[in-house]
C-alpha cells in the first residue's frame, strides 16, 4: 500500500517533472551531501554531458574568478565531486554543464544575486552557526510599501523588527542597511542572512534589539523582480539612477515612512546606517547630506573610488565641507571594513577617504580582513558592526 | 568613458560569472521576449548541446505531462523557440538541455514548487492583470513566527494585511489560505500571487479589506527551505505528518496567534478558510473539527478521495456526525471548485463528498472549470472566492 500512497502523493504535485519510473527505479540524488568530516559531495545526473563542473564560493568566494572544479562521471550518467574539508560558512554554488550555468536540481534552496541563481548550503560548527535559524525568539520580516514622492512612485522595503516588538510599547533604535549593485530589498535577507544574524546576536545579548530597514537602492525599480509593476524585468548590471544621487536625495522618503510607521527612538543616538559596496557609497553620502542624523556609520567594502563621469547631484557637491561639518557635529562610530583582496580601485578609494579623514583629524575605525568583495565578508561585518550599536 | 563605467559597475558585482569578453562582444540574450502579438520567444545559449527543449505551463499547465517544445539551434549556439499567441496568464517554464532540467539564465525571476525551480513570466492584457503589481495601495506581507505547542516548535507563517491596516484601529476579517503538497508558507505568495490579487480586488472595490493568513501545512517543518532550523533540507514529496491530522489538530495554535497579534473581527461571520489540493483537504477537516468557527469555506481542487491507509486521528473520526453538526450550525458559503481535467481520484473524491452533502440536504456551491490540478486554476478560484467573502 505504501507505493500506492506515494503514487497518490505524487499525483498531487502541481508540476510533476519527474517521470514516475525515475522516481521508483532509482533513489533521488542527494546533493549537496555534507559529510561527517565537513567535506561536501555534489551530484548531478547529466548522462549526455561532456564536461560538468561545480563552482561558487567553495574556495573562499572569489568575486571575479571563482575556481571551477571538474566533476567526474560515474554510473548512470551521475557526475560527482567532493571538496576538501570546508570551514564553517554559508556557501553558494552552481553547476556548469557543457558550459551552461545551472542550479542543482537536487537542492531546493537557491537565491538570486544580480541575475544569477545559486544554490546555498551551510557548514555548521563555527561562524556559520550565526547564520542558522536557532531555537531563539525570532523577529518579524515585513515587506512594506511606502510613498516616495521624490521618485514619483511607491517603493518596497523590507523591515526587520526584533522579537517582542509587537508585544511591547517600547521604542527601538533603527539600523538602515543598504545593499550593493545588483541587489534589492531582499539581498540582505537572502545572501546576507540579516534576520538570522540579528535574531542570534540579540538572543545572545550581544546586540541591542533594533529595527533593521532594508531599502531598495535602485530607485529605477519599485521593488525586486516579480514584486514591482514592471513585472519580471531583465536585470542589468547598472540600472539607471543607481549611483547618481537620486537614492541619497530621496532617502528622506524612506526615513519618513519609518518614523511614521514604527515605534522608533527618534534621536541621532538611536540611528545607524551601513551598506555594502554601492550601499557603502550610498551610506557615506547619506551620512554627509543628512547632518546630525546618524551616530553610527558603517562602510562595508564601500564603493568609494568608483569614477562617475558626468554624474552631477547636489548630493555629491561640497563634499569636503560636508565632511568637516560631520566631524564637527560628532558621532559615536565611523566604521570601515574591507577585504585585502578587494579590487584595487575600491581599496584605493577607501585609502584616499581615510587619508582625507586623517588629515582632518576625523576619527574612524578601520578593519582590513582576509578575502575580497564578498558576502562572506559582509555577513562578518554585519555581525561585528551590529554589536557596536546603540550601547 | 561609458565602457569604463560599465566595466566598473561590473567590477562591483559580487559574483561575476560572465566572462567580461562575453559581455562586451555580444549583447545579452533576451529571454523570454514577449512579442507584440503575444507570442513569446525563448533563447538560451548552449553551443555543445544536442537537444534543448522548453516546457512548463505554455500549453495550459498540465500537471502531469507538460508538453515539451523542441528548440532550434541557430548562430553562436543559441537555441530559440517561439510559441503561438498566448492568452493572458502567468506562465512558468524551464529548459531541458540534453535532458538536464535548468532555469533560464536570462530570466532573473524564478520560483520554487516542490523542489523544482521554474522561471516566470506574465502575458498582460487580460486575466493576468489581476496578478500584476498595479498602481494601487499595497498591503503588507509579514513573515511571523508563532509558538505551536501542539507541534513542540516555533513555526513561520506569512500574513497579508491590507493597505491601510497600520493606519487605522479597525478590526478586519480573516481568510486562512492553505497550500498543497510540496508548498509552504510562501506558496500562495509566489505561485499564487495572493498579495497582488488581494491588492487589486480590494482597490477595485470587489473584495472587502481582509487579513490573509498563509500557514505552513507541513508540521514536520518549521518553515520553508532556508528559513527553518533544519537549514536547507531536501524536499520530499510527502513529508512526515503531512496528512495525518496533526496540522488540523494544531491549527488552533495559528488561530490563537492571529487573534492575539492582529486586530481581527473575532466572529464566525468574519472568518474564512480555503485551501488548494492538500490544503483543501485540510480546510474541509478544519471546518469539521472547529465547529461554528468559519462562515466561509473554500475547497480548491481539494484532495478528497486520497486514501490514507493506516492513518488515524481524532480529526478524521466521526466525520458524518461532524458534517451534520456543521450543517446544523449553518454557514454563509461552502464553495467547491475543481478542474474537469483533474485526476480521477480527486474528481471522484469530490463527487462523493458532494453526494453526501446532497443526501443530507447540505448547501454548497460547486464550480467545475476547464483545466486540471494547476496554479492557473487556483489563482482563478482565489479571485472568485475572495469576492464572495464578508459581505
Per-residue model confidence as pLDDT tens digits over B316-331: 999 999 999 999 999 9
pLDDT tens-place string over residues A341-380: 999 999 999 999 999 999 999 999 999 999 999 999 999 9
Residue B361 touches chain A, beta carbons under 8 Å = no
ipTM for this model: 0.90
Q: What is the pLDDT of residues A138-174, one digit of tens each?
A: 999 999 999 999 999 999 999 999 999 999 999 999 9
Residue A363, helix vs strand vs coil = coil
Chain B neighbors of A163, CB-CB under 8 A:
145
Q: Is residue A330 part of a domain?
A: yes
- In this prediction, residue B229 carries a pLDDT of 84
Whether residue A193 sits in one domain with residue A105: no
Q: Are residues A222 and A364 in the same domain?
A: yes
Residue B332 lies in a domain: yes
Closest CA to B187 of B343, B380, B375: B375
Element (H, E) at A8: helix A2-11
Same domain (yes/no): B340, B355:
yes
pLDDT beyond 50 at A41: yes
Cell of B19: 566572462
CA distances from A124 to A38, A127, A380 (A): 9, 8, 15
A107 and A154 housed in the same domain = no
| CA gap B285, B276 in Å, rounded | 13
Question: Stretch A299-325: mean pLDDT, rounded?
Answer: 90
Residue A268 has pLDDT above 70, yes or no: yes
Interchain CB distance below 8 Å, A101 and B105: yes
Domain with residue B310: its CATH number is: 3.40.50.1820
Q: Are residues A140 and A186 in the same domain?
A: yes
From chain B, the residues in CB contact with A222 under 8 A are 133
Write down which residue in B125, B154, B182 finishes a domain: B125
Nearest CA in chain A to B378: A14
Contact B181, B216 (CB under 8 A): no
Q: CATH code at B99? A: 2.60.40.10
Q: Are residues B236 and B374 in the same domain?
A: yes
**What's A235's DSSP letter?**
P
Q: What is the pTM of this model?
A: 0.92
Higher pLDDT, A7 or B47: B47
Co-location of B89 and B159 in the same domain? no
Q: Is A153 within a domain?
A: yes
Judge whether B115 lies within some domain: yes
Domain boundary residue, one of B93, B125, B157: B125
For residues B167 and B103, membership in a common domain is answered with: no
- On whether both A75 and A146 belong to a single domain, the answer is no
Q: How many percent of chain B have pLDDT more than 90?
A: 76
Domain of residue A83, residue span: 14-124
Query: Is residue A86 one of the residues assigned to a domain?
Result: yes
Which letter, b or e, does each residue of B229-264 get, where b requires 16 or more Cβ atoms within 10 Å of its Cβ? eebbbbbbbbbeebbbbbbbbbbbbbbebbeeebeb
User: Which residue among A124, A151, A186 closes a domain?
Assistant: A124
Give Cα B204 distance to the centre of its chain: 22
pLDDT of residue A239: 66
pLDDT at residue A328 greater than cutoff 60: yes
| Residues B220, B246: Cα–Cα separation, whole Å | 9
By mean pLDDT, which of A298-312, B161-175, B374-388 is the weakest? Answer: A298-312
Model pLDDT, residue B200: 98
Q: Give domain status of residue B8, yes or no.
A: no
Q: Is residue A4 part of a domain?
A: no
Q: What is the mean pLDDT of chain A?
A: 89
Q: Which residues of chain B neighbour A277 with C-beta distances below 8 Å? A: 12, 14
User: How many domains does chain A divide into?
Assistant: 2
Q: What is the pLDDT of residue A11?
A: 39
**A3 found inside a domain:** no
Residues A229 and A373 in one domain: yes
Average pLDDT over residues B178-207: 96
For chain A, positions 153-192, list CB contacts with chain B under 8 A: 154, 156, 163, 166, 180-182, 191
DSSP string computed for A188-204: HHHTT-HHHHHHHHHHT
Best mutation target, A6, A108, A152, A224, to test chain B (most B CBs within 10 A):
A108
Residues 107-136 in B contacting A (C-alpha not used; CB under 8 Å): 107-118, 120-122, 124, 132-135
Q: Which one of B17, B222, B227 has the shortest CB-CB distance to A116?
A: B17
pLDDT tens per residue, range A46-91: 999 999 999 998 876 655 566 889 999 999 999 999 999 999 999 9
Any A CB within 8 A of B373 CB: yes
Q: Are residues B271 and B312 in the same domain?
A: yes
User: Are residue B136 and residue B238 in the same domain, yes or no?
Assistant: yes
Amino acid at each position: 500500500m505504501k507505493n500506492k500512497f506515494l503514487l497518490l502523493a505524487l499525483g498531487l504535485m502541481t508540476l510533476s517533472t519527474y517521470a514516475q519510473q525515475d522516481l521508483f527505479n532509482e533513489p533521488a540524488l542527494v546533493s549537496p551531501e555534507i559529510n561527517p568530516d565537513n567535506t561536501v559531495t555534489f551530484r548531478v545526473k547529466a548522462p549526455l554531458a561532456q564536461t560538468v563542473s561545480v563552482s561558487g564560493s567553495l574556495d573562499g568566494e572569489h568575486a571575479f574568478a571563482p575556481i571551477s572544479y571538474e566533476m567526474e562521471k560515474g554510473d548512470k550518467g551521475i557526475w560527482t565531486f567532493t571538496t576538501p574539508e570546508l570551514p564553517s560558512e554559508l556557501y553558494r554554488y552552481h553547476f556548469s554543464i557543457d558550459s551552461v550555468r545551472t542550479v542543482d536540481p537536487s537542492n531546493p534552496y537557491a537565491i538570486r544575486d544580480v541575475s544569477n541563481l545559486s544554490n546555498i548550503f551551510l557548514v555548521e560548527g563555527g561562524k556559520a552557526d550565526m547564520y542558522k535559524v536557532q531555537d531563539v525568539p525570532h523577529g518579524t520580516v515585513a515587506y512594506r510599501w511606502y510613498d516616495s514622492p521624490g521618485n514619483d512612485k511607491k517603493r518596497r522595503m523590507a523591515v526587520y523588527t526584533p522579537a517582542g516588538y509587537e508585544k511591547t510599547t517600547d521604542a527601538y533604535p533603527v539600523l538602515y542597511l543598504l545593499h550593493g549593485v545588483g541587489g534589492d530589498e531582499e539581498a540582505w535577507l537572502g545572501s546576507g542572512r540579516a534576520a538570522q544574524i540579528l535574531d542570534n546576536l540579540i538572543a545572545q545579548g550581544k546586540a541591542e534589539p533594533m529595527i533593521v530597514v532594508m531599502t531598495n537602492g535602485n530607485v529605477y525599480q519599485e521593488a525586486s523582480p516579480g514584486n514591482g509593476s514592471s513585472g519580471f524585468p531583465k536585470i542589468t548590471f547598472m540600472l539607471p539612477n543607481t549611483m547618481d544621487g537620486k537614492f541619497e536625495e530621496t532617502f528622506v522618503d524612506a526615513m519618513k515612512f519609518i518614523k511614521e510607521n514604527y515605534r522608533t527612538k527618534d534621536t541621532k543616538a538611536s540611528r545607524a546606517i551601513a551598506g555594502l559596496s554601492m550601499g557603502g557609497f550610498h551610506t557615506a553620502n547619506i551620512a554627509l547630506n543628512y547632518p546630525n542624523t546618524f551616530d553610527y556609520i558603517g562602510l562595508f567594502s564601500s564603493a568609494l573610488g568608483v569614477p562617475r563621469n558626468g554624474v552631477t547631484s547636489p548630493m555629491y557637491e561640497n563634499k569636503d565641507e560636508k565632511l568637516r561639518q560631520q566631524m564637527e557635529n560628532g558621532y559615536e562610530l565611523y566604521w570601515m571594513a574591507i577585504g585585502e583582496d578587494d579590487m584595487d580601485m575600491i581599496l584605493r578609494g577607501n585609502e584616499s577617504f581615510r587619508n582625507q579623514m586623517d588629515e582632518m583629524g576625523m576619527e574612524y575605525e578601520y578593519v582590513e580582513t582576509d578575502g575580497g568583495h564578498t558576502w562572506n565578508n559582509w555577513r562578518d561585518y554585519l555581525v561585528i558592526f551590529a554589536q557596536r550599536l546603540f550601547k
